[in-house]
Amino acid sequence: MDKKVKSEIELRKNQILQLINEFCALKLDNEYIELSKQLLNKLGRKRDVPFMSGKIEIWAAAVIHALGTINFLFDKASEPYATVDDINSFFGTNKSSTGAKSKLIRDLLKLGYFDNEFSTTRMRQNNPFDQLMIFNGIIIPK
């Protein structure tokens, strides 16, 4: 990959991050900013960088949506809490575009609930699977 392509990826990533920072300042917290940065860096290392095409607003919304999905952001009992409508109205996107890109991100990076790399501190501390172990093929409490 040549320097020009790398600088274009970096520029695009920074544009997306700027939008994410604005949303997180209003609705979320610094941890979501850091996780978003980490996620975008990982996407930026893919052979075909997915966020190089399409609107940056959709990618910013999709990153928040993907992280929010695996961290229960949309659950009212969760802290911080936001709705999909909050995300879409802030970024001026629609549910189907945001949802599709979010799914693409989660599939590309194999993201799931209680993901070690992209879970919030609260999710990692409350991981129910940390209290279990497998012994002779049977799941038992630690």
* Structural domain contains residue 121: no
Q: Total domain count for the chain?
A: 1
* Structural domain contains residue 83: yes
SS3 110: coil
* Structural domain contains residue 123: no
CB 83 within 8 A of CB 74: yes
* Structural domain contains residue 132: no
pLDDT of 1: 62
Kindly give the interhelix angle for 30-44 and 3-27, rounded to the nearest 10 degrees.
160
Domain CATH number, residue 64? 1.10.472.10
Position 36 pLDDT exceeds 90: yes
* Structural domain contains residue 116: no
Looking at the DSSP bridge assignments, the partners of residue 138 are 135
Confidence of residue 137 (pLDDT cuts 50, 70, 90): confident
What pLDDT, in 10s, does the model give residues 44-67? 998 889 998 889 999 999 999 999
What is the domain range of residue 85?
3-111
pLDDT of 21: 94
* Structural domain contains residue 129: no
- Angle subtended at Cα 21 by Cα 86 and Cα 96, rounded to the nearest 5 degrees: 40
pLDDT of 136: 77
* Structural domain contains residue 131: no
At which residue do the structure tokens 């544009």 appear? 15
* Structural domain contains residue 130: no
Considering the chain, what is the average pLDDT of its residues?
88
- When pLDDT is averaged across residues 70-98 and rounded to a whole number, the result is 92
